[in-house]
Chain A
Amino acid sequence: MTAPLVEASGLAAGYGGPPAIRELDFAVEAGQSVAVLGPNGGGKTTLLRALLGELRPAAGSARVEGRPAYVAQSERTRLDFPVSALDVALMGTLAGGRWWLPARRSERAAAARALERVGLAAVAGTPFGELSGGQRQRVLLARALVQEARVLLLDEPLAGVDRPSAEAIESLLGDLRGEGRALLVSTHDVEGARGFDRVLCLNRRQVAYGPPADCLRRTVLEQTYGSEIVVLEEDGRSLRAVAVQHHDH
């Protein structure tokens, strides 16, 4: 049996004060996708930062195979920056460590291929700020693809994304799983989490981790979200629920 690509053991992490997340124990195998669910402030982004190595564990440990690629929320990019979609994808080649040298032809080709893979080859030369929200998110995904990482961490990649882009992203995530990569995706989409291999419910501590059928239950979701969960329909083991999002940005 191969070692998991991502492993947290008794992990606690924070920003210097009391840990923002604690008691995390989970492992993600190659080819597995994990939906990270939790309320705003529940620690989803903190977990991703801890896995990226930006935050030192206050307790326990976190291990990631190789350098993970990170897809931040596109809201945090600058739309006024004079870069094209291809320029942004090309930034991913900096993961190779040759930051002091100009981009090579092979790196440009890799960036172009990544854009093609996310279905945006036709807008490679378009300024990033002129793309739709969904297209911008796909460009950031292309930047991550260029890094050839075995582990991808995605921070709410489907938030505010148009339907065609969401379908393209979901399809691509499925392909990446098929390639043996491990994906951790933070999301507010409780229903969408059913399509993942595992669900990690987080509310400053690990509430549950396991297959969607085990985690997407009323008791678990209520422990995770508190009053932020609204159950729409419940029939035996089947449950439909939505998390109420309080935007803090």
Chain B
Amino acid sequence: MVNASLSGPSIQTIIVLIILATVPDPFDLWQLPFARTAMAELLLLSVAAGLLGAWVVLRRRAFFSHAVGAATFPGLVVAAATGFSAPLAALAVSLAYAAGVVALGRRRPGRRAGADRDHLATALLLVAALAAGVVLASDVFTSGAGVDRLLFGTLLGLDRGDLVLAAVAVALVATATLALGRTWAALGFDREGAGTLPLPAGLADGLLLALIAVVAVAALPAVGALLTTALLIVPAATVRLFAPSIKTLLIAAPLLAASESLAALYLALWLDAPPGPALATLSAAIYLTAALARALRSPRRPTRGPMFPARESPLFISPGAGNIGSPGGRGDT
């Protein structure tokens, strides 16, 4: 009788060994110049998007954050067709989009029932931007692979200009967090009560949208216009499930964004997959796991509304996910 243990490695062991043999050494990646540039870009974006993402989830601007990236589409089409700078074209369109949302979504003085104007404006202008982009791409210009790359991102063709833009985004977001953090927190917690304090509420709200536009544009080369959510919202929303304070959220969200970004880059290079979708898939999986873990750990609910309303989930982006329907109150943010 032959002893199984003497018959050599099992088929499962062989498969595992083959897989392990294909795993690249992380230090080998560091030797690749484009990988080093990609890592630097992702780390800078993680700081900017993590910090700002904390405010996005606190102020319920997830829908706008997703929309402003997608709304750059017409600018990208024009830039790709004319040779104009894609970041500048996207920045112009995104800032115009943010200004449009501010203008159309402006509250009437003393009204607290006009909160849905914000996301109506966000949705209407998004539709207009996408329609303009489609018309430009199909009837005016011939869009090529360049537009596709900007819609879904690539980490292979980053240059110094992309790094500079990401660094500028970090500086702007960090400065705004220091100067406007208390105002954003007070307005987000209780718009009605904070509205009676001498705060620059309109300026703070407008700057938040403008900064989201800037960070979304800075993230375009890396993750593309359609996947900025992966950096800007999902890591912060994951941390938000556990963070007991705003300070914790502001520290942990950039750290998680950086960890997810580097892990996704590593996986993408190993599996020869596009990095943007890899990051989106990884961050979404981590969010879902964290949300499940929290639900199992703490079934207790707050006294008003559910802890995990579907429309607050970062994976459920709709007009309602952006600004209204607070689980803990009716206040718009």
* Contact of A78 with B111 at beta-carbon distance under 8 Å, contacts A72-B193, A91-B186, A91-B194 already known: no
B329 near A91 with CB under 8 A, answer no
B110 near A91 with CB under 8 A, answer no
| B 305-323 binary contact with A (CB < 8 Å = 1; else 0) | 1010000000000000000
| B 243-272 binary contact with A (CB < 8 Å = 1; else 0) | 111101100000000000000000000000
Interface residues of A in 114-165 (CB under 8 A from B): 127-130, 133, 140, 143, 147
Q: Which of A69, A70, A82, A133 contacts B249 (CB 8 A)?
A: A82
Is the CB of B144 closer than 8 A to any CB of chain A?
no
B200 near A99 with CB under 8 A, answer yes
B242 to A, closest residue via Cβ: A82
Q: Which of B191, B193, B328, B330 contacts A143 (CB 8 A)?
A: B193
Interface size class of B (residues with CB under 8 A): 35 or more
| A 76-97 binary contact with B (CB < 8 Å = 1; else 0) | 1111111110011001101101
B182 near A54 with CB under 8 A, answer no
A129 to B, closest residue via Cβ: B302
B243 near A82 with CB under 8 A, answer yes
Q: Point out the residues of chain B lying under 8 angstroms from A128, CB to CB.
A: 189
Whole-angstrom CA separation of A83 from B245 in the bound complex: 6
B190 near A72 with CB under 8 A, answer yes
Interface residues of B in 101-135 (CB under 8 A from A): 108-112
A83 to B, closest residue via Cβ: B189
B200 near A82 with CB under 8 A, answer no
B197 near A94 with CB under 8 A, answer yes
Whole-angstrom CA separation of A44 from B111 in the bound complex: 14
A81 near B328 with CB under 8 A, answer yes
Is the CB of A207 closer than 8 A to any CB of chain B?
no
Is the CB of A16 closer than 8 A to any CB of chain B?
yes
A79 near B249 with CB under 8 A, answer no
Number of A-B residue pairs, CB cutoff 8 Å, is 126
Is the CB of A168 closer than 8 A to any CB of chain B?
no
Is the CB of A179 closer than 8 A to any CB of chain B?
no
* Contact of A70 with B193 at beta-carbon distance under 8 Å, contacts A78-B188, A82-B245, A84-B245 already known: yes
Is the CB of A103 closer than 8 A to any CB of chain B?
yes
Whole-angstrom CA separation of A55 from B107 in the bound complex: 13
Q: Point out the residues of chain B lying under 8 angstroms from A77, CB to CB.
A: 189-190, 193, 328-329, 331
A78 near B186 with CB under 8 A, answer no
Q: Which of A67, A68, A71, A94 contacts B186 (CB 8 A)?
A: A94
Whole-angstrom CA separation of A55 from B189 in the bound complex: 22
B245 near A80 with CB under 8 A, answer no
Is the CB of B26 closer than 8 A to any CB of chain A?
no
B197 near A76 with CB under 8 A, answer no
Which B residues are within 8 Å of any A CB, using their own CB? 58, 108-112, 178-180, 182-183, 185-186, 188-200, 240, 243-246, 248-249, 302-305, 307, 326-331, 333
List 11 A-B pairs, Cβ < 8 Å.
A55-B110, A72-B190, A76-B112, A78-B326, A79-B328, A81-B188, A83-B246, A87-B245, A94-B183, A99-B200, A103-B182
5 smallest A-B Cβ distances: which pairs?
Answer: A79-B328, A70-B196, A78-B328, A72-B193, A80-B328
20 more contacts with CB within 8 A, not counting A78-B190, A79-B302, are A55-B109, A75-B330, A76-B193, A77-B193, A78-B326, A78-B329, A79-B304, A79-B328, A79-B329, A80-B328, A81-B58, A91-B189, A91-B197, A94-B183, A94-B198, A99-B198, A99-B200, A133-B303, A140-B193, A249-B330
